[in-house]
Amino acid sequence: MITIIDYGSGNLRSVAKALEVAGGAVRVSGLPEDVKNAGHLVLPGVGAFADCRHNLDRSGLIPPLLDHIQAGKPFLGICVGMQLLFGEGHEFGVHPGLDLVSGKVVRFANDMPDPHDPNQKLKIPHMGWNRVRQTGVHPLWGGIPDETHFYFVHSYHGVADHPAHVAAWCDHGVRFTAAIARDNLFGTQFHPEKSQEAGLRLLKNFVAWRP
């Protein structure tokens, strides 16, 4: 059973539908016992880093989430759900993350020039399709060519302390982390549920993943 964590933040319906199309048996739940008993766990996220972390705390979902990861079971974080895996987020102050991947989440700089038009400022949020460059072999990249385009919507991005945790990167004025991986964890800054065939393939790989 794939459990999508419902903590009051996230595009739950779209993620659930995409995972079902990918062949998963899906449950959306905010109950700690369902999170604890999940075979695969998905943490989506839309909104501010601090609000998402507060909602997780308030719902009592962090202990079973950490237990799931400690047990070596597959975990996927999407967008802010990926960002929460970092040590801290710098959105409206500095706020603690889950510290499962060493690093921080920062905003794109407002004053960066657009690389395609130096007379214009870089557009923030980063929204739309962009090329994702894989850093190595991972089961979730199976059948997905390097430099495939995925769909992004975000103003903040993760900066990992250890390059080995970066599973893919992308360029939006600066090179930023597009995906992270560590043991049974995988996270995407892009939205696989909005990324058509490539996103569906990644979700199929997640459904089949047995770390």
* Active site residue ranges: 79, 191, 193
Q: Which residue has the tokens 């004053």?
A: 111
* Token representation of residue 100: 């499962």
CA distance 34 to 152: 29
What number of residues does the chain have?
A: 211
The alpha carbon of 16 is separated from its chain's Cα centroid by a whole number of angstroms, namely 15
Tokens 């964890």, residue? 185
List the beta strands (DSSP E) in the chain: 2-5, 26-29, 40-43, 75-78, 86-89, 95-96, 101-107, 113-114, 117-121, 126-134, 148-154, 156-160, 166-172, 174-182, 185-188
Q: Which of 97, 75, 5 is nearest to 44 (CA)?
A: 5
